[in-house]
Each structure stands twice: as structure tokens, then as C-alpha cells.
Structure 1
């Protein structure tokens, strides 16, 4: 059986809705033509979900853009076909293709905020889409838009129509994109990493929503993702791509139970799984050791709004009275959904935002530090951010970036700083010869290793990893996490590991705190929180984690009927403080309401 034949829809099925045959997409860069996708073939039946999986650069998104006719100017389909209901989409002129987009084939992009127009209301954007393809009145288009929003379970759709994208949460914006894509009942929906930027609970809601809408409308779905847990839960069949070529395709159960290609096996082996963390547990650091960092009743507030006299009227309670410590050689985790205050805690620890309460690093209270003291404390605490490309100066070589902290603090001569940077490159799995290159010449995983090397330059006692692996492919993520673990064994450095990926957290941390609306609802060792979760919010987070095993059927997810409450309160009416109770051996749980 050939590769193309193996990618066809199940035998005995009707004619495929979509048939991609020997598709080759090339890019012309500085006069050189090179393939981005080569000889790709697969078929998709009506009502079926096909997942295209693979790491960044494998050609997944380029394939979807080729089908949609949205390729950049220097990228083109040079051979092959993408036949939707018998029509070759890449060969259509733009005028004709415009009529197909939205009406027959629609697409949901990864980041809804960049896909929605910030200066137009949700209602105007939705009615524009409907009226561009159907000759209906504004009133009829508005009614259809409200009905579409209602179908994706957006509360108060009439009110949402008047709102702007920035007024909605990330999950709500993604639901708007789904409503917009399905408003015209297209035959094919392409979802390009539709949940990558979403919290695990919102991710599950969106995926279940897509499944429910697919049952109602019979729409076929191409799901593009690098999350094998999402693939296991949603797909009927899977195409695995690498370097622009298909390496394997199979029904989802077969692919997970008996992958035939080495790359697929490596991809599945790198997926973090809930339940495996306990087997890798190491002894907790002694409590008697003085903590590297300590927070007692820490609070971070931001005043917003203004009355007639220009005084603020409301207050954002970003962090509201949290307490914990981080011991030497320990990895302490902070988990929770977007907006719960995780990153604000990190910034307050690093002295980047003003705070109330007591925060100390290496025994020194941050509020008591002079300007020089704050500068000195940076030697003990460093950060590794989520996006390594944004964290590195594109005009500096990576060698200069790694040695820059030493220069700022006046440590060593130029020769000594260069030698130190070379040693750090070697330590994080790169070569000193690469120091003369610039950030854009490295892959995402390599750039994150460079950021880790820079964080280690001053030999800090605490490194804050703020979503430092969430944007990486699963295999690269595994490499970076392994690197952090090795460095901790070598240097006894402590980590504050911030993430919304519960499976990753379980495989990394020693202790953790679960945050909700600026407060801690549960805190304990990894085994206590993951093995015996007590708070309903912790249980909801764990229930929402995708399981990379299609044979395991999960319980129906209890979708929240209301939106998450806001951390914004009128000044003078602060939120109720949660009180943590010790339920045994340092396992703290807040009152559950």
C-alpha cells in the first residue's frame, strides 16, 4: 500500500468530501526555491475529523493555508490538487475562491485576538461575514449571528454583539471565531491549533463544543495540532507530518496503540501524562533549610476607572493575600487559569511590580531594599519567559546576550565573561561556536536553552520559569524540562515553575499551589494535590486534562453555567479572603463554596 493510498478514507465510504493529491507547496526565498510541503495525499469524508499532527515547521499550517488559498505571496502550490467536492481549490482565481471561503470551507486560527478586528464590535463582524455570502437584510444577519453565538454557548449573546474583542476572555473570543466559522454551515472546517493558547478547562469546553456542533451540522473537520492528547480525544484518523512530508497515517486507535514510524513513537513517548509524575518523585528538601524565597500575605492591586474627580473607582485584586515559601533545590509549582495571578506573583517576586505584604528573597525583604540592593538581588533571582524570541534582543549575538548579565553587574574581564558564556553554552547542550549567531538562526527549543543559559550566568538561587515550555513542541518541551532537572541536580538551584499544563506540572514539581482569582485554593506536595485533590477547582483542572489515549473514555465534563467571576471590585468592597486548612502533612485546602 502506498503512502497516498494509506491516507484515504475508510473503505466502503462514499466519495470523499476533500481529496488532497500529491500536494507540493514551495517557497521562493532570495531566488532559491525549496519545498515546504512535498507530495502530500489524504482524503476526508463528510462528518469525519482528521488530525494533522507534527511539530513546528512540519508543514501542518502551510497545508491548511494552501487549501484555503491564503498562502503568502512568495509561497505557492507548484503541483498536486486539493479537491473539495470535486473542485480544485488552489487553482481557483481569488474572486471565485472568496465565494468558497466561509460558505463552503472555513478556518479557525490559533490566536483569536489577531483574527478579530479590534475596532469593530462582535456583531458588526459577524453580520459582515453572513451578508458577504448571503443576500439577507441586516436584521436577518443579526438574528443569524445571535443564533450562532447561542449555539456555541455564549451567555447573553445579544449583549456580546455590542462588545469589542478586548472585552471578552480568550475562551469567549475563540467561541466567537467558531460561531463565525460555522454561521454559514460550511462543508469543511479547518481548525489550526484552536486550543493551544487556551487554559485546559477552556480547551476542553471548546473541543467538546466542536464535537457537538459537528454532530449537529455534519461538518468535516481538519484539526491541526501538536498536542497528542487533543488528537486522541477528537480525531477519527491521524496524519503525522515531519519536514513537510507525511511519515504515517492511521485510524487514531491504531496510531496510538501500534505506531509504525520511529518519529511517531518518539512523539508519543515525549507526551507528558498525568499519573507518571509520582514514579519520578524525589525526596523533598528539608523544611529546616532557610527558604530561598518567602511570601507572607502578599497582595498586588491595580486601581482602574475614574470618577468625575479623576479618582479610581475600582481595584483589580490580582493577588490577594497568598503565602508560601520555596526551599533550596526545590521546584515549586503555581498552576491555574489565565488571569488567576500566577505571573503577577512572579513579577512581584522579581521586584517588577509593587506589592503589599511581606516578600523576601534569600532572607532579604524586598520592600526594605535600596536601589543598589534591588540590583544586587537580581543576582539571586532570574526569569525564563514564555516566548524566547521576544526575550532575546535580535540585534545582539546570543553569546553577547548570555554574557550581558555579567557585564551589567561588573563581573570579570571581557575574556572571562566570554569563557563563562562558552561554559554555559556547553552546559545547556549548545556549542561555543554557536555564540556568534543571532537569535533568528536558532529553533524555538534552542532559543529557550539560550534563555536558560542567560538565567544561569549569575549563578542565581531561584529561577522563575513563567510558562517557559508552553509554546514549545512536545519533544522540545521534554528536552528543556530534562535540562532544567539536570541543572538542578548540578547546582541545587530552586525553580518557581508557572504553568497551566497540569500534566507537565506533575512531571516537574515537588510542591505546588493551585490559584484561583488571585488566591490559593489548594497547596501541598505533588502526590497530595495530584493523588488526592480536595478542592472542586483542582478537581476540575485535572478532569479537563486531555488524555493521550483514545481507548480511555472520559466522564462527561461538567461545563460551568456561568462565567468566571471577575477579580475587579469596587474600591472599599474587597473580595472575601479564603482560609486554608491543613488536612494533614502540610496539605492545605481552602473552604469550598
Structure 2
């Protein structure tokens, strides 16, 4: 039997047996000014033990509200107003809080999207794990500690005994997410709800977390509800899929059926918006010509931070965030920087914007940043602007969006009040919004609209270079596609250059002209899009590409090489500088470092 046939057969087997979870006509409503307004309406599905059900859809579709309703964690003004959710015959929404507290963690557990906000920053990892175990089992402290260490070992965290004594901020994002998984699975729950568990993770860490969930599911028989907007993740992990839009089910069925023959236009649009590896080659390979003066140039750029303190208050260690990086960005070009968290991508962006001290040569529009006066650094901001990952955090909630877009003009003394308003109105139209929306505040817009506002603000001073630092990674795939199309349209219209920083290799391939792959502060491979994606030479580049989820259930069984141990740290003792990697040209300007 083929993999697709096995996938199609799974729901039939599950349906024949009594489902572990049966949701029938579930309606969740919010009370707004005395009126009930449904957020989720008429949701129904069954979930068998050992099965993975994906709930997919864009932000605002009701995915997370559904998970909170099942966990009994709805806000005070939101309640289940109709239907039922039976877990082994127990109607979860109707349970009193005291009884639900006994089930929560023991029989139904949840992994949240952002582990840093889910873990208590003032308590050690071990304390939080032991507390979770003892809350449901009256076991001695020593037994609970042993169970906690074993839970960490099961999620493949290195040196679990040492990790027990560490605080959340001492762990990487991937390790924190593993701690959350260990905490959720410590009591071997029958049902695990994973709400966007990999959205904020690097592609390689995402691969490890998804494989870990699969391994633990096979070992424990836990049923999983996976909530995500990443259709590649759905294809690689789910048995069945429920597609939601505006609180209602648009389509549901086996994963192979949803991907091979989607019945609804919304599902087809959702799948069409997913960036796919290989699609970038269809854009052609026209590169902007080399210019006498590039928009930006780095030669042997270094950014280091001293940390720690000995008895005399002197630093003991150094973070080698960027170590000898060299590249240039041409006018009208999109240059990509890719790599895992901590590799130095964002530090390079900050150095280019003059926000962190550096060594070596960094030029913007032919001007050396190290030689600029305070006034010169202010002026260089007209040439370099940034679009950040989280548009809500990047916009002042007390300012109207019109004021936010016009603010750079005010800071640099460009025009009078009327001219600034006219410029802002023109920018709103260019990014697909209307001048009438300028009087609204950030919270009145969707995530995609807020990111468009941030793009408009970045364009206000007519910069030569816009740095997009993970600017679409938090957006739904359809919104992401619209923002990327906008950036390309503005580039063709205005000739602006982009430094596009991302860990999503499929997105990068679809937008960049050239790119550099970074690892531990150094470049390991650099070349045109077709060179790096069509003929990756460095093992780390190959590993990044291999980890990209493919939105095709038929390719789920492909083998992956699991990395051994944790990623090395850029923190080294003073005087112990890392060895410099020498790049060699393997043809046509395709530069590759020798593998370690």
C-alpha cells in the first residue's frame, strides 16, 4: 500500500472505533457590548487515539480559539455557547474549573507558540517541570525530579541534569520548545494540542521538533491536534485536515485528498500561496549589473560583544556575532541572508543601520559608517530603513498610522505639515491602502495591513536600501504572498535595494537575486539564487534545504539526516577567536567554504 493510500485509510480505521475526542457543532462566542458574536460556529470533527488532526487557516479563522475552548482557557468574555467536545465521554466545556484543572496536563495538554512567554523566567527549568508533575501525581520530590530528567531525555535535550538548573533565557528557542513538549508529555496525556508549535523556529529546529512529536506519538499513542497556517507542516505531519475560515469549516478530509484535490476555492488559494522550493527558478536569472558604487558594501566586517565578569570586573568571554563577513548589495538588487537563529543575520542588519559598533569596513552609498559624525549617522538613516518582523511591536499604538508613516519626514525636517500628509497619503495608496485609513490606529488593522504600513513608513524617505528582517515570517501564507508581491512591485517602480533576512529557504528562493548562507557569524556559501539553490555545495546549506517542509503528503517518507548534538555556541573565551573560513570560487562567482 502506498503512503497516500495508508493516509486515506487512517480516518476510516479511526472512525470505526470510538473516537478519543468527538467535537459536535461547537460554537464559541464573544460578548461584545451585550451582544453575542460567534468566533467559531458549528465546528465538528472526530479524533482517534494516535491520530494527528491539523486545523489550518489564516489568522482570525478560529483555530486558536478552538484550542482554548478545549483546554478551558477562554477569556472571561468568551464562552462555549452551543455544541459539545467529548473527551472519552466527558464534555470538556461543561466541566467546572476544579475538575478541568485535574484533566488539564494529565489527560489533555497544550504546547503554545512562543515558549519564552509560556515558561516562567524567574524559575529554573527543573522547578517548573517538577511542579507540573507533582500537580497531578502525589510523588516525592526525588521521584518527580527523576521523572523530569527522563522527560528531558525523551525530547533529546543534551545534558538534562544540567538543563534542570538553568533558566529559560539560557536555552535556545528550539530547546525551550523541547522543554515545553517535555512538560506537556510528562504525564503522557491522551490528547496533545500543539498551537503553532514551530512558527517561530528555524527550519532545521522545526524539522527536529516535528520529528520528535512523531516519535513520541508512536511511543505513547497520544492523539495530536496540530494548529498551524504552514501547509508544508500540515503535509508532513497530519493524517486529516480541517480548513477553517472566519470561524467556520470550509473543508475537511484526509490530508492526501485535501492536497491532491481541494474542493473549495479558499483551500486552493491557501495551497497556491505556499512558497515552494524550485519555484524561484521560474523567475529567471536576470541580475542587476554591477555598479561602480554599490548601495552597501561589507569587507571583513566584525561585530563582537564582551560578556561575563571576573573578580576584577573584567569580561571573561566574547560573543563572536559576526566574524569577517564580506559582500556587497547592488542598486535594484535583493540580497538574501539565511541561516539559523544566532548566526549573525540580524546583527549584520543592525551594523548596516549603524545601531551596533563594528570593525572592518561597512559602507552605505559610498560612505564609511565608522567615519561618520552624529549628523552623518542621522543622514545615513535616509538611505537605510528597516522593516521588522512584528509590525504591531514596530508601530506606536498611541499614534495614528498616518502619523507613523509621516514621522520619518518630520524627524528629518522634510516639507511642511501639508506636504508630509500628502506624501503619507501617496505612500498609503502605493502599498494598497487608502488615505482615509490614515486616521486609524494600528490595532484596527490586520497583520498584513500593519506590515504594509511599516513598508510605507520605510519608503517615506526614499531610501536606497530597505532591510527586511524576518518581515514576513509571522504572516499567514496568503498575506505573506501579497506583501512579497508588494515589495517586488515597489522595487521595479522605485529601484530600491533589499537586504532580505530570513530562515525560510522557500521564501528566500522566491524573492532574492543573490544570497549568502551564514553559520556561527561567518559566510559558508554565497552566490546567485540558482547557484546556491540549484547546486548547494556546503553541507550546512544542504542541511537547510533538506529541512524545508514540502507541501506534498506523498513525499512525507523522505529520509533526513538528524544532526548530532547541539549547535556550537558563538561565545568563546577571550583570546580564543574562531578560525576564519576561506571562501573559494567553484565557478561563476559561486563561493563556498571548506567543510569542517
Task: Report the RMSD for the aligned CA atoms in angstroms.
Answer: 1.2
Residue pair 1:289, 1:328 contacting (<8 A) in 2 also:
no
Match of 1:190 among 176, 189, 193: 193
Counterpart of 1:3 in structure 2 is none
Tell me by how many angstroms 1:400 deviates: 1.0
The answer (yes or no) to whether the contact 2:343–2:519 under 8 Å persists in 1 is yes
Question: Counterpart of 1:10 in 2: which secondary structure?
Answer: helix
* Per-residue Cα deviation, 1:319-364 (whole angstroms, up to 9, x for no partner): 0010000000000000000011000000000001111100000000
Q: What does residue 537 of structure 1 align with?
A: 540
Question: Could you tell me how far 1:253 is from its partner in structure 2?
Answer: 0.2
State yes or no: 1:26 paired with 2:64: no
Whether 1:441 and 2:476 are equivalent positions in the alignment is no
1:132-151 to 2 correspondence within 5 Å?
132-151=135-154
Question: How far 1:167 sits from its partner (Å)?
Answer: 1.2
User: Out of 505, 508, 528, which is 1:505 matched to?
Assistant: 508
> Equivalent of 1:83, from 76, 83, 86?
86
What secondary structure, in the 3-state scheme, does the structure 1 residue paired with 2:378 have? Answer: helix
| Corresponding residue for residue 51 of structure 1 | 54
The correspondence of residues 222-233 of structure 1 with structure 2, limited to 5 A, is 222-233=225-236
In the TM superposition, what is the alpha-carbon distance from 1:135 to its structure 2 partner? 2.0
Q: 2:430 aligns with which of 427, 438, 442?
A: 427
Q: What are the Cα deviations for residues 26-53 of structure 1, in whole angstroms up to 9, with x where unaligned? A: 1112323211100100000111000000
User: Structure 1 residue 192: deviation in Å?
Assistant: 0.5
Cα-to-partner distance string for 1:290-316 (whole Å, 9 max, x where unaligned)? 210000000001111111111111111
The reply to whether residue 10 of structure 1 matches residue 12 of structure 2 is yes
In the alignment, the residues of structure 1 paired with residue 292 and residue 50 of structure 2 have an alpha-carbon distance, to the nearest angstrom, of 59
Q: CA deviation at 1:289?
A: 4.2
Count of residues in correspondence between the two structures: 587
Worse-matched range after superposition: 495-504 or 112-121: 112-121
Q: Is the 8 A contact 1:302 1:316 kept in 2?
A: yes
Are the counterparts in 1 of residues 285 and 530 from structure 2 also a CA contact under 8 Å? Answer: no
Aligned with 1:220 (options 207, 210, 223):
223
Residue 384 of structure 2 contacts residue 464 of structure 2 at CA under 8 Å; is this kept in 1?
Answer: yes
TM-score, normalised by the number of residues in structure 1:
0.98
TM-score normalized by structure 2?
0.97
Q: C-alpha displacement at 1:469, in angstroms?
A: 0.3
Pairs within 5 Å for 1:476-487: 476-487=479-490
Matches of 1:318 and 1:567 in 2, distance apart?
6
> 157, 160, 175: which one pairs with 2:160?
157
Per the alignment, residue 37 of structure 1 pairs with 40
1:517 and 2:520 matched: yes
1-structure distance, mates of 2:294, 2:401: 33
The answer to whether the Cα contact below 8 Å between 1:9 and 1:43 also exists between their aligned partners in 2 is no
User: Contact between 1:130 and 1:184, CA under 8 Å: does it hold in 2?
Assistant: yes
| 1:378 matches 2:381 | yes
Give the distance between the partners of 1:590 and 1:467, measured in 2 at CA.
25
2:339 corresponds to: 336
Contact 2:391 2:451 in 1 (8 A): yes
2:407 aligns with 404
Give the superposition deviation at 1:566: 0.7
Give a deviation string over 1:88-113, Cα, whole Å, max 9, x none: 01100001001101111111111111
Q: Which of 68, 81, 99 is 2:71 aligned to?
A: 68
2:259 to 244, 256, 259: 256
Q: Deviations over 1:354-394 (max 9, x none)?
A: 11100000000001111111111111111101111111111
SS at match of 1:507: helix
Instruction: Say whether 1:591 aligns with 2:589.
Output: no
Task: Answer yes or no: is 1:275 the counterpart of 2:282.
Answer: no
Separation in 2, partners of 1:142, 1:313: 33
1:126 and 2:109 equivalent? no
Counterpart residue number, 2:3: none
**Structure 2 unaligned spans of 5+:** 1-7
2: distance between equivalents of 1:361 and 1:459?
14
Aligned partners of 2:51 and 2:292: how far apart in 1? 57
- Per-residue Cα deviation, 1:136-191 (whole angstroms, up to 9, x for no partner): 11111111111111111111111111111111111111111111111111110000
Higher alpha-carbon deviation: 274-283 or 541-550? 274-283
Q: Distance in 2 between matches of 1:193 and 1:514?
A: 26
Q: Classify the secondary structure of the residue corresponding to 1:277.
A: helix
Partner SS for 1:133: coil
